[in-house]
Each structure stands twice: as structure tokens, then as C-alpha cells.
Chain A
Amino acid sequence: MQGTRTKPSSDATFSIPSLNRYNTDVQAAQVDQGLRAIQQAYSPDTQPTPQYPPTAAYEHPAVVSTPNALGVNAHQQFAHPVAQPQPSYTEGMVAYQNLNAMVTDMVPFVPSPEYAHPDTTMPGSFYAQHPPQPKIPTVFNDPNRELQDQFDLHGDVNVDPSIWNQDVLQAQPATYEHHHTGIEAPAVQPEYQSPYHEEEYAVHEAYARNEPDGVEVPHTSEAMQRLGEWLAYARMAHMEAWNADRSGE
């Protein structure tokens, strides 16, 4: 039937938008509105007249005698505006409190990752300040490396924390070898099935052979390959961390 509209049912599809740019703009507009109210409430027009006379600097003749393109002299342009009806002190305080509450609500706001640039070098980027952390902790220069080697572990985030039983560990000699301990290596959680596990270990070993005090210009094929391995490792670790962050893990 032409011209007839059907009243939407109460369960019509409508979803409150998540915290995104739209809401941010709305909040910003509300803040602007609150700020204007405060500025009006605390405008100099509503304040007591200063007791001191204006200085000569405010009455410079060159300023007074120069009309602008609209034909308004500068002293008129910058003159105090005519006082207009202003909100009372109470109204100003209410506006201030409303604004304060609004700002307080906004304090925890952080840019949604969907709007963050993955380039961690971009100034102001969310990920420049909060770079995604790989789920696999770095194996470089890890003080627990000896411990990790004993258990043949290279990343321990997914390992059952019960393995860190200090009573058991401290009861063992500090220099014992893994295959001499009789302690079974703890089971790795199923989710820790990274295909880069072996590569990670290889990089770890490769790095252990390198000079620790800086990256030398690779003059040998072996050194060049190590650089490539480190890049591949960093790439995979970054990708895993990023994608885990995206999938909400």
C-alpha cells in the first residue's frame, strides 16, 4: 500500500554501535558544548571589572587606526564584546560537573585496535605505544635459558605452571643435564603447536654463536643466512602475535 509505513516492531534490528569513531565524534561534540557553556559561565564579562586601568599597550594608535577588510578598526575588532545574558554560576557549575563526568568516562578510552595502524613506528599509533606482544616470549638472552634447555622448552607461556615447582627444581643440582635428571619434560599444551618452533630454536642457537655486542656487517654466507633467519623468526613471531590479538586469544 503506497504511502503507508509500517511501525517497526520493538525487536527491530538495531545495535548500539561499539566504541568507534562515531561515538568519539559525538562525545567530542558534547565536550565542545560543555566547554562553551563553561567559557560563557566564566567569561570575563561575568567577572568583576578589573580594578587596574588598561595599560597603554592596549591603546596603541597604530592598532586603532587600521581598519580591516570589513571596515572594522582593530580596536573595535578586539574590543570587549557587549555583555550578553550569561548562565548563572549554578548553571556553570552544573555544566562543569556534567563535562567532568563526561571526560571521566572518556579517560579509559583507547583507540580501537581496528583503527590502529599496524606500523608501530607511526607516531601516535596505538601500537607504537602498545605493540602486540608475541605469545611466545623471546628466547634471546633469556636468563632462564639453562632451565629451558633442561626441559627442552623455548617458550613457556603455554606450559602448565605447575612445572615450576620450586621444591623440585631446587632439589636438583644446578648443573645436571636434562637426560640425567629423571624428571620428565612437562607436556606442552596442545595450542602450542607453532610450526616455527624448530626455527625458533635454530635461531636461538644461531644467535648464541654470534657476537652479543652488536650486529656486524655479514661478511660470510653463514652470517648472511643468520640475518635472514632472524628476520624470518621476527616476522613469524610478529605475525603470530598480531593474529592472536586479532582472534581475541
Chain B
Amino acid sequence: MSGIFQRALELIVGDSSRAALTQIPKDRHFKQITERDLIRLESEIGSQIFGALPHGHRREFFCLDSTTWIWYEEWYDENRRFQTSTIRYEINQNGVLKVQEGARYSYLDGQEYEHFAMAMKMYFEQVMRRVYGRYPASGELITPVIA
């Protein structure tokens, strides 16, 4: 019973554990910013570089650290059941390891590898310009420091 109640509560107010990933606190302007805040901003861009989302879907795509990229997507299936999918891409010397739920591991190849590489470039270019105000090619600040 408590499970049903919890599920109903999540449907109404949302899952706070998931919401924390995307909801930007309103008082963030008054506080010091954290790496997590910046990742949220990056993910706002990352979620859009793959085009429009189907109705009812939500997507996150961001660079977690220098070797890890995260794809997260949630939606309701045809039976109105909430579905999520989290994919972790780990970059190592052998390529890009795709880690899916259920202990499924595979290296990217072919078109999927090309798509991932292009997504990285698009993400990098837009995040560097729009979030950090730097030229992607040089890393210099777009507004130079005036001494």
C-alpha cells in the first residue's frame, strides 16, 4: 500500500531524486555555484543537440568528467508506465565503452560511433560558448579581461 502511495505521490509531485538532477534551485543566484549546477546547465544544452524530443520524453546528455558521458532519458510507454534509460559512455584507450543497464557492455562502432563523436563536438562547441563564454577552438574568453 505504501508503495502505491509512494508511486502516486511521485506521479503528482515528481521523483525528488530525479528532479534534483534537472531542477535548478531558484536561489542559486545568491549562493556559490557548484560543479553539479554547471553540469545541469551543460545538460540543458546537451539535451537539445539531438533535436526535438517526442512528447512526454525528457532527456539529459552531459559530460560527467573527462572520460565519462551520460545519456539519460525518461518517458511513459504505451501502457502509461514510466520508463527510464541511463547509458554511460566511458572513453578509454580502446574506444568508447557503452555501459547500459543490466550489465550490458559494448564498444561503439560504425555509425553510432560517428554520431557520438559529432554529439561530443556539438556539445563542446555550444557549452564552451554559451555556458563558459570561451572560444571552443582556443579556450580564450570571449570577453577578454581588460587590465
Contact = CB atoms under 8 A, between A and B. Distances in A.
Given A231-B128, A238-B132, A117 B38 contact: no
Interface in B58-97: 63, 65-69, 91-96
Interface stretch (A7-15, A91-99, A118-126, A184-192): A118-126
Contacts of A227: 63, 120-121, 124
A214 interface: yes
B28 A118 contact: yes
B91 A224 contact: yes
A3 B139 CA distance: 68
Given A118-B33, A239-B38, A246-B31, A213 B128 contact: no
B70 to A, nearest CB: 12
Contact of B38 (A212, A214, A229, A238): A238
Contacts of A242: 32-33
A114 B124 contact: no
B116 to A, nearest CB: 9
Given A131-B133, A238-B131, A221 B124 contact: no
A230 B139 contact: yes
B117 A224 contact: yes
A116 interface: yes
B28 A225 contact: no
B18 interface: no
A109 interface: no
A227 B29 CA distance: 28
Contacts of A219: 117
A115 interface: yes
Interface in B108-136: 117-118, 120-121, 124-125, 127-134, 136
A217 interface: yes
A230 B134 CA distance: 11
Contact of A215 (B39, B95, B136, B142): B136
A116 B117 contact: no
Contacts of A221: 91-96
Contact of A224 (B29, B94, B120, B138): B120
Contacts of B130: 119-121
A240 to B, nearest CB: 10
A115 B29 contact: yes
Contact of A138 (B28, B127, B131, B141): B141
A215 B32 contact: no
A228 B134 contact: no
A232 B66 CA distance: 6
Contacts of A121: 129-131
A236 B33 CA distance: 11
B35 interface: yes
25 contacts: A113-B29, A121-B130, A133-B141, A133-B145, A137-B145, A138-B140, A141-B138, A141-B139, A217-B118, A219-B117, A221-B93, A221-B95, A227-B120, A227-B124, A230-B124, A230-B139, A231-B124, A232-B63, A234-B127, A234-B128, A234-B139, A236-B35, A239-B35, A243-B32, A246-B32
Q: Sort A-B residue pairs by CB-CB distance and give the 10 closest, nearest first.
A: A228-B66, A140-B139, A234-B132, A243-B32, A121-B130, A229-B66, A131-B133, A242-B33, A224-B91, A217-B121
Interface of A: 113-121, 131, 133-134, 137-138, 140-141, 203, 207, 212-219, 221, 224-225, 227-239, 242-243, 246-247
Given A119-B41, A228-B91, A229-B66, 16 more contacts: A113-B29, A115-B29, A119-B131, A121-B129, A121-B130, A121-B131, A131-B141, A138-B139, A213-B137, A214-B137, A227-B63, A228-B63, A231-B124, A232-B66, A246-B31, A246-B32
